[in-house]
Amino acid sequence: MYRLSTAFFVILICCSLQVLSATSQEPVTETRGTIESSPVDFVVTRVLTALSDGKADATDAIQKLVDSGAANIHFPRGTYRLTQPIIVELDKTGFASFSGDGVARIVMNGPGPAIRFVGTHDRSADPGSFKENVWQRQRAPMIDGLEIIGDHPEASGVEANGTMQMTLTRLVIRRLRHAVHLVNRNRNVLIADCHFYENRGIGVFLDNVDLHQINVTGSHISYNDQGGIVSRQGNVRNLHITGCDIESNMSPGAAATANVLIDCSGSANGTAEVAITGCTIQHNSKSPGSANVRMIGRSNPNQDGVVTQWGNVTITGNVFSDVEVNVHLQDCRGVAISGNTFWMGYSHNLLVENSRSVVVGANNFDRNPAYAYGDATETANAIAFRNCDDCTLIGLQLTGVHAAPAAVLIDQCRRFNISACTILDSDGPGLMLRDVSHSLITGCLIRDDRDDAHSAISVRVEGGSGNTFANNAFANQTE
């Protein structure tokens, strides 16, 4: 038995380029219901198999395959070590696809992303805006069924710039910096059925990117130290996060972040039109500044000096738990929150600051005894609105808010509608209005029926004017 050098396989690729060139435009033929492999597939498979021991540097060989126009690079079972990014310049290479059927591993042993897609799409997603070269050569770059792991402190997984319809499916990406890094401009990104796990940076990072239409579905995104799904600055529209398990994406001692963080500060365009639905989003316990969903909606002034509060966000059908603040909205406009289950918000289940047009309806904010909360004074589970206007709270169910000024605190707000809410067994007042004006509180039930009830006050009002209370059932005193 003997081992041939990597250089030999590079020479083999160079010698095979004529085969690739001669056959890359030939259609695949069909014979009696079966599809015959082309010579291109044979050459690619033979070369990659020879570099699959995890020791040889496969970078040069794979890059030459990409540059040759080998559009569908399928990795046989094995481990492929890279020392530099594989750069796919789509306008030069044409359509590109990498696949591994779940049995191939790429180890990134150098700085930068293992795979970097570079396209030239600089328009919208409107079909009429496409340049012909994008549709004919660049659309839908794909990666499917690969594991990408890191063996360098500055290694990342996949980076995309200027792409149209990039599709990432069935990937395992771990022990890197960022799993997926989207920069500059992209359109119509699909990420599905992936595992982004134990990375030093972010799971899915929308990094000051101009990006419309991105769907992240059915994926596990967990134990990424700087956030699970993070959008900073940029111009992002139509971000959909659906059916994912997003957990523990905050390392102890790291700067305050979140499992899902949308930060519009520093941007003139911000992020809007966001749907977070049907996910489990939870953990990292009492880490300072931790949140499951945090949106900072206030952008920098645009060229006309206008400051915008970004929003148009729907948060529905999720399970939230086990962080300092489950959902934190700051400087947002146009947010709807409904049908979620909240518990173990060590400071707040819901904290809304300097926002307007927020609708919160039919959520369950519970203290379930099936879970170990520790010292009751350490877990508040409170709801607070501060400096907000034009908000509606309807059909909320709150149970067991402890160690907080009130179960629901409305502080320096105006034009609130608080209706049909049930607030039970909380240590402080069930509802506190502090300097609130022109608001309606109707049809609410507020009681504390515990044997060791801590509070004899259902509602406390401090200052404010023009408020109306009607048809409420307050079991205890009002102040």
Could you tell me if residue 49 is inside a domain?
A: no
Lowest mean pLDDT among 239-243, 302-306, 322-326: 302-306
CB 73 within 8 A of CB 62: yes
Higher pLDDT, 31 or 102: 102
Give me the residues paired with residue 399 across strands: 424
Between CA 433 and CA 408 the distance in angstroms is: 9
Q: What DSSP character marks residue 38?
A: P
Provide the mean pLDDT of the chain.
88
Could you tell me if residue 111 is inside a domain?
A: yes
Mean pLDDT, to the nearest integer, of 329-353? Answer: 96
For 292-325, letters b (16+ CB in 10 Å) and e give bbbbbbbbeeeeeeeebbbbbbbbbebbbbbbbb
Residue pLDDT, tens place only, 41-62: 656 777 788 888 999 999 999 9
Give me the residues paired with residue 192 across strands: 169, 217
Could you tell me if residue 9 is inside a domain?
A: no
Domain at 195, CATH number: 2.160.20
pLDDT above 80: residue 340? yes
Q: What is the pTM of this model?
A: 0.90
Could you tell me if residue 288 is inside a domain?
A: yes
Q: How confident is the model at residue 31 (pLDDT cuts 50, 70, 90)?
A: very low
389 to each of 126, 349, 359, 378, how far by Cα in Å? 36, 20, 11, 30
Between CA 191 and CA 171 the distance in angstroms is: 9
Q: Which amino acid is at 134?
A: V
Could you tell me if residue 48 is inside a domain?
A: no
Between CA 420 and CA 54 the distance in angstroms is: 62
Structural domains of the chain, count? 1
Domain span at residue 260 reads 54-478
Residue pLDDT, tens place only, 108-149: 999 999 999 999 988 877 887 778 888 888 899 999 999 999
80 to each of 109, 431, 436, how far by Cα in Å? 10, 60, 63
Between CA 363 and CA 316 the distance in angstroms is: 9
Between CA 348 and CA 407 the distance in angstroms is: 10
